[in-house]
Amino acid sequence: MDIKALQDEVGKRLPLDRFEHVLRVAETAKQLAELHGESVKDAEIAALLHDVAKFTKKEELREVLLAHHCDQRLLVYHHELWHGPVGAIVAKQEFGVTQENILRAIQFHTTGRANMSRLEKVIYIADLIEPGRKFPGIEQLREQLSGDLDTMMKACIHHTVQFLVSKKVAIYPDSMDCYNEYMMKEGK
């Protein structure tokens, strides 16, 4: 896959500030992949495509989820969760991505899930901590950038769940499974 052509096509589909976020996620993901023995090219492709459906209209997202028999529980959770699964479908159908590993990294980049692959973790983490992100606690997350992938992933999913609970938002089961998996890793 020609990375420059991919960048150009993604750039056409997103507002500039979101495209800049995508480019920063790609840079962070490449660094993480390099550090943790994952394919840098796969990380770049997944990162460039992770938000490809971010500005697709809610009704269209819903139609795609229904047409592709995605996990229908998504429809009762916040529509912010829909662009990942739809993004994976777009990556496959419109960009010709066939590698399951890349498609799953796009699909689960917002929710996380139990038993994530290394590439899924790279994209999840990169999306949360790319240099343009500003939120309380981001510095503590970034400090762990040099640590192992699971330590970072644990800090990231904990941050996300804590944020959602503070906002009294329902938490999608895949995210809870991810959270519980990591919290249990410390033992009781």
The residue ranges that bind a copy of itself (CB under 8 A) are 76, 78-79, 158, 161-162, 165-166, 168-171, 173, 176, 179-180, 183-184, 186, 188
> String of b and e for 4-18 (b: at least 16 CB within 10 Å)?
eebbeebbebbeeee
- Cα 123–125–130 angle (5° rounding)? 95
Taking phi first (over 0 means left), then psi (-120 to 50 degrees means alpha), and beta for anything else, what does residue 56 get? Answer: beta
- Cα 184–185–188 angle (5° rounding)? 55
Distance CA(123)–CA(97), nearest Å, equals 16
Contact 140, 158 (CB under 8 A): no
Minimum separation from the CB atom of position 170 to a copy of itself (A): 4
- Cα 101–106–107 angle (5° rounding)? 95
Minimum separation from the CB atom of position 154 to a copy of itself (A): 8
Distance CA(44)–CA(99), nearest Å, equals 13
- Quick one: 16 or 76, whose CB is closer to a copy of itself? 76
Minimum separation from the CB atom of position 61 to a copy of itself (A): 14
Minimum separation from the CB atom of position 50 to a copy of itself (A): 23
Distance CA(120)–CA(77), nearest Å, equals 21
